[in-house]
Amino acid sequence: MKVLRYILSWIYTAAVALRHRLYDWGVFKSRSFDIPIVCIGNITVGGTGKTPTAEYLLSVLGDRYNIAILSRGYGRDTEGYREVTVDDSYIDVGDEPLLLKLKFPDRPVIVCEDRVAGIERIRQEHPEVNLIIMDDGFQHRKVKAKVNVLLIDSTRPIDEDKMLPLGRLRDLPSRLRAGHIFIVTKCPKDITPIQRRLWTKKLRSVAYQKIYFSRYHSPMIEPIFEFADREEVNYGCRAILMTGIGNPRPFVREAEQRFSVVEKVIFPDHHAFAAEDLRRVYELLNKHPRAVIIMTEKDAVRLRRAKLPERLMRAMYYQPISMNFIDGPDQDFVGSLIAEIEYGKDKGKGPKEGDATPVEEADPDKRAL
């Protein structure tokens, strides 16, 4: 089986490399638009924090730009262009776009697997929009983004990973050269300056690339369903963890530090909770009658319309999170991003899509730090 995975990984790597070369040689065309596009992406599968990053950008840039979010809408049962409403089901639009719409109801949130068609229609139907945030579009090279913001999960170093299916890399490490700004996410609270310097050496291959480090702030859990007579929940109480996200380890680690975790039920990313899943959790709740059920906010979106027993609803909570930058004011990141959006092209800055020099082959001592 391992030999087969090696063969499949080699074939996948060759196919990805050929595709990039065809774009670099101009056989496949990338489309530029007359509106700045900020792409939030990564080169790995699984959760690196794209949705919290999109939330953060909507919050800090919302007063300066009329922003629309464009997403593929991964996991939805529909196809084509669709504008998300607060009354939609995650089945029709995807859990992450719905979560963004619920938090920012006045912002257009669009799902469309064809990003070029999606941008064209946004321009037609929302002429007021002057900035598009393209969620998880780094591999979608049909669109040439003004700024590529690449997210790196600190708990899964890229240099220790391999291409699918041997590892979690879905793109070539050399593609890091196309990033303008890196955010190393989910950093530990005690990350040291030396560790940050090592990350910088791993990631930066062009002098102007900027690298920031972030961690999540997790306030007290909040109930998914409102009940006026709900009992107060305190840190240290018994908890059953239930989640279906790309990388549950940081969520589990944080919960174990705050609560007495008695059970963990882990599902695949974007998992649609079935009746048998909920029965399983209900049985665990009967086993631990004083426990609460804790999940992520993305998980909670997939349950907001579920028909559940009241006892189960009373026990369900979600963990809200927000992204905070380490060492230095957030305005440093925001200022850098605005400069790339508004002035990067005029200054001749930005990586070239066709420049595929592998990061791992560059001499770390010659990189600008």
Q: What is the pLDDT of residues 110-130, one digit of tens each?
A: 999 999 999 999 999 999 999
- Given this model, what pLDDT does residue 329 score? 65
The rounded distance, in Å, linking the Cα atoms of 83 and 331 is 31
pLDDT at 360 over 50: no
Find, among 48, 39, 55, the residue nearest to 100 by Cα: 55
Residue 345 has pLDDT above 80, yes or no: no
Structure token pair of residue 186: 């989910």
Residue 235: other Cβ atoms inside 10 A? 11
How many Å separate Cα 325 from the centre of its chain? 16
Res 368 pLDDT > 60? no
Name the token pair of 217.
């702030």
Which tens digits make up the pLDDT trace of 200-209?
999 998 888 9
Tens-place pLDDT, residues 179-188: 999 999 999 8
Instruction: Say which DSSP state 169 is in.
Output: B
Nearest 5°: phi and psi at 359?
A: -60, -40
Indicate the Cα dihedral angle 317, 295, 321, 244, nearest 10°: -160
pLDDT category of residue 366 using cuts at 50, 70 and 90 = very low
- Sheet holding 292-296: strands in order across? 222-223, 316-319, 292-296, 238-243, 260-266
pLDDT of the residue at 344: 66
Between residues 2 and 130, the one the model is more confident about: 130
Encode pLDDT of 97-107 as tens digits: 999 999 999 99
Residue 364 has pLDDT above 90, yes or no: no
Stretch 275-288: mean pLDDT:
96
Q: Which helix (H) or strand (E) holds 2?
A: helix 2-24
Domains contained in the chain, CATH given: 28-65+130-217+324-366 (3.40.50), 222-320 (3.40.50)
| Mean pLDDT (whole number) for 283-300 | 96
The stretch 238-266 carries a mean pLDDT of: 95
Distance CA 284, CA 141 (A): 46
Q: Among candidates 311, 273, 316, which has minimal Cα distance to 292?
A: 316
Residue 352 has pLDDT above 70, yes or no: no
Question: Could you give the CA distance from residue 232 to residue 220 in angstroms, rounded to a whole number?
Answer: 11
Which residue from 57, 70, 43, 343 is spatially nearest to 177, judged by alpha carbons? Answer: 43
Distance of CA 86 to the CA centre of its chain: 21
Which pLDDT belongs to residue 2? 84
The larger pLDDT score, comparing residue 278 to residue 351, is at 278
> Cβ distance 170 to 45 under 8 Å?
yes
pLDDT reading at 348 higher than 70: no
Reported as a single tens digit per residue, the pLDDT across 40-71 is 999 999 888 999 999 999 999 999 999 999 99
End-to-end CA distance of the chain: 42
The pLDDT score that the predictor gives to residue 328 is 66
- Provide the 10 A C-beta neighbour count for residue 220: 11
Could you tell me the pTM of the whole model? 0.89
Cα separation, 358 vs 369, in Å, equals 18
State mean pLDDT over 148-172. 93
Asked if the model's pLDDT at residue 355 lies above 90, the reply is no
25: part of which helix (H) or strand (E)? Answer: none
Residues 214, 183 contacting (CB under 8 angstroms): yes
Q: Which helix (H) or strand (E) holds 1?
A: none
The rounded distance, in Å, linking the Cα atoms of 64 and 49 is: 23
Confidence of residue 230 (pLDDT cuts 50, 70, 90): confident
Q: Are 155 and 123 in contact (CB under 8 A)?
A: no
pLDDT recorded at residue 138: 95
Query: What pLDDT digit, counting tens, does each position of 293-340 carry?
Result: 999 999 999 998 899 999 999 999 999 999 999 976 667 899 999 999
Cα separation, 42 vs 170, in Å, equals 9
Average pLDDT over all residues of the chain: 90
228 pLDDT tier (thresholds 50, 70, 90): confident
When pLDDT is averaged across residues 168-173 and rounded to a whole number, the result is: 95
